[in-house]
């Protein structure tokens, strides 16, 4: 059972309805404990203004979405490095608990997923060096394998933690139930991660049927994911952060009144 104070709103959940200022006000109005902005929303407002508004609203920042996308070219491109530096700066400015990394899929035109993974690891290494100097934590978000080609070629907790093992302190994982719920070893990998590397916990649900690979995520309770089981596992392992609600839903939740969405989240959180 979760209360609103234990929730964070990922702004993607109300992407069509609210700008960041409205989302901040909405979180305060519905008693949420925090917020997690996407960078496009952050840029509209400016990081410093956003930081002030968030602080004034009494919200914490569970994460900034997103850095990564290292695989725009091969070899690793300076533009990708620079863009991630900017994201790290912004994460520092708004006091984000972590910068969430969607690492990028395969290089356009390539069939070399192993090569893409090498680029990603090099990119993360570079970003981590800089993030450490800024006091920003880097959270790799393993994305569901259906996004391996075009969004993120890090697709399991095991793979993400193998990278973390190699890169050392300051880098961990963002555990999104949507991406990892199916994994037969998700629980043992959460145990392996431990408190320092469990940096974010995202919730939503997997609908049956799922009608779109990207934009048909479900509200908690409408699908098949055993959220309480996964939540208790990260908490047993020392995760003390907020439960960040991130729902991409072009044909349902994005079409509803945002306050209705927020109320529904709070209602459903009771059973999470």
Write out the residues near its own copies by the rule CB under 8 A.
105-106, 110-113, 117, 144-146, 148-150, 153, 155-156, 158-159, 181-184, 206, 208-211, 213, 223-226
Residue 50 corresponds to which tokens in the numbers above? 């956003």
- How far apart (Å, rounded) are the C-alpha atoms in residues 65 and 54? 16
In terms of CB distance, is 159 or 264 closer to its own copies? 159
Q: Which residue has the tokens 């934009």?
A: 215
The stretches of the chain forming alpha helices (DSSP H) are 20-29, 39-45, 47-56, 78-94, 113-134, 157-167, 177-180, 186-197, 227-236, 258-269
Shortest Å, Cβ 141 to its own copies: 15
What number of residues does the chain have? Answer: 272
Shortest CB 114 distance to its own copies, Å: 8
In angstroms, the Cα distances linking 172 to 34, 80, 141, 238 are 20, 20, 9, 14
Q: How far is CA 15 from the centre of its chain?
A: 15
Q: How far apart are the first and last CA of the chain?
A: 5
- Minimum distance from residue 20 beta carbon to its own copies (Å): 28
For its own copies, which is the closer residue by CB, 156 or 249? 156
Residue with smaller CB distance to its own copies, 107 or 136: 107
Shortest distance, position 251 Cβ to its own copies, whole Å: 15
Please say which residue, 150 or 235, places its beta carbon nearer to its own copies: 150
- Name the minimum Å distance from CB 30 to its own copies: 26
Query: Least CB distance from residue 183 to its own copies, whole Å?
Result: 7
| Cis? peptide before 75, omega within 30° of 0 | yes
Which residue, 18 or 147, has its beta carbon nearer to its own copies? 147
Longest dimension (CA), the chain: 48
- Asked if residue 80 lies in contact with residue 120, where contact means CB atoms within 8 angstroms, the answer is no
In this structure, is the dihedral angle defined by the CA atoms of residues 258, 262, 267 and 268, taken in order, positive or negative? Answer: positive
- Residue 146: CB minimum distance to its own copies, A: 5
Cis amide linkage into residue 268, ω under 30° from 0: no
137/217 with CB nearer its own copies: 217
Closest to its own copies by CB, 95 or 145: 145
């Amino acid at each position: 059972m979760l209360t609103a104070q234990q929730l964070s709103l990922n702004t993607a959940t109300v992407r069509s309805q609210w700008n960041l200022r409205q989302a901040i006000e909405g979180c305060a109005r519905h008693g949420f404990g925090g917020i997690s902005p996407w960078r496009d929303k952050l840029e509209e407002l400016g990081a410093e203004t956003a930081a002030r508004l968030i602080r004034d609203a009494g919200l914490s920042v569970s994460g900034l979405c997103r850095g990564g996308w290292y695989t725009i070219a091969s070899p690793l491109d300076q533009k990708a490095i620079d863009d991630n530096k900017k994201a790290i700066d912004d994460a520092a400015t708004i006091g984000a608990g972590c910068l969430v990394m969607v690492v990028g899929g395969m290089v356009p035109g390539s069939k070399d997923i192993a090569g893409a993974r090498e680029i990603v690891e090099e990119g993360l290494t570079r970003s981590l060096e800089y993030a450490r100097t800024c006091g920003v934590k880097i959270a790799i978000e393993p994305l569901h394998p259906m996004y391996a080609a075009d969004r993120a070629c890090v697709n399991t907790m095991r793979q993400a933690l193998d990278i973390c093992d190699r890169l050392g302190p300051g880098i961990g994982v963002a555990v999104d139930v949507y991406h990892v719920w199916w994994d037969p070893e998700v629980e043992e990998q959460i145990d392996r991660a431990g408190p320092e590397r469990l940096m974010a916990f995202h919730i939503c649900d997997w609908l049956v049927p799922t009608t779109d690979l990207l934009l048909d995520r479900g509200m908690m309770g409408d699908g098949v994911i055993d959220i309480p089981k996964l939540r208790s596992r990260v908490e047993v392992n020392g995760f003390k952060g907020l439960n960040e609600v991130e729902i991409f839903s072009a044909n349902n939740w994005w079409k509803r009144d945002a306050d209705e969405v927020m109320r529904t989240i709070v209602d459903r959180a009771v059973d999470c």
